[in-house]
Structure 1
């Protein structure tokens, strides 16, 4: 056997056993670059949040001495949180946000699961046109005026329903859940049919217990959207008692609204910046508390549904 032949065979053998780039052992330079990027992201995200916490715990004198913002207060105080929670404005708005988020998330999950299950089953009447209609909403979205006219014609102006129904169904979440449902083995459906189970029984007893991951992720998507939504409330809500927390926060931080000292039952209010940061922390706290419990479902739920869609 010639030397050229041996070299060719050896090269083919080496190429056949080469690993893809993403399976190669990372280099020290690559690991160092990843570490630098992660640390930079932690600082970019964590520093503003810690600054908000520190400022909310600071007194007027300390804020004045440090230019209005404090990272680590020397003498932390909860006065700003006490004033905010005792005033009634923020607590009432928080209850509105909690109610809208809870009811809206439940209705959104119900509609998403029903529509996604129908679109995932072969032989569904008008399944393809409905799927095209859902996908078409990615390209053609209604403007503010058509949305307002629809809500007005339905008689939902100045009602809690105006903060739920216009955003109750998300096309992306429907596609993700549909893809996840399609990944469930068909043999399970056939076995249930042989036992005399109908569509509702199959969905409730078989499909939903196997879809906890994707439902947790999609439910979190909906909950975050409802909790952070303020634009619909600004458009459709006229009664100040029905405004959600995000609108109150926006008005207080951006428009310079202040609390009334007499209404708070105090003689002197804390610094406006401290009150603003206290409201900000209270607004983001629920999502921060819930997210770690659902984080483990993200890769399994979203990637599986998206890949199979």
Structure 2
């Protein structure tokens, strides 16, 4: 009886171990709550929001890609792989000199605008993949591209509210474009510099009060307390006037509501891309009532512009360290003597 029991126990134990070995979970690499991937022997399993992809290793690394959003260009150029970009939408919004030169030479073509993409051109050029932010009203376009054998990958980096998680999207491009070691190195360097800067700034007193954004269409869309800008301000050693708000989105407020909170704010950040204080005042004469305006402490995100292109929305998407450094330079200039602003610009 004892021998039968031991034999039965051994069979159960062996079966259990075999099952565990056969169904061992593949490690999930989490970029953010919205983006993650799993790397198997034969496939890259990518999860982006509600979208799932099973990408065969046989087609990787991608050799020809197209971008429907200029905000994704910074990741590719940082990897030095801009030659893989064979098409872009809204080329007038591209800041990168290298990509602009490719557009001029014809190596990178114009595939339309975010109002109407040139689907026939995209299909005829047969890119390995098209990268874009997901827009529900273009579902028919996406379906047509997929039906013609083109992978459409949605990467909604603009939804990320943690600056370093947005930076980490470069890791996915590294996996897909055959530059994983370089992508990991870039992320490591940026995150290290960001944390070093933030550690020093967060410990600095006093913390100046900060107002942000501007009026648009009769509403002041003030970033919520859980947004990326709110985190940047906190990490830069500032006190944001809406830091107690629980929203991870812009909050529409009246001028009067913002004035009550921000009339005495010491700094005004991300005040559009106006060329001067006078230009800002033309939008609303009431702006002159704010202390930050009267003291000339108003900053825009127009530090790196070329015609319609603004690098804050291109390389700035990746370079969280440089964006944070700008905010620290503004709020605590004594911490960064001799360091120039990159993406920000003071209005005069």
Please indicate, yes or no, whether the TM-score normalized by the shorter chain is above 0.5: no
Higher relative contact order (CA closer than 8 Å, sequence separation 6+): 1
The TM-score, its normalising length taken from structure 2, stands at 0.25
Counting helix residues as a fraction of each chain, which structure ranks higher?
Answer: 1
The TM-score, its normalising length taken from structure 1, stands at 0.27
Rg larger for: 1
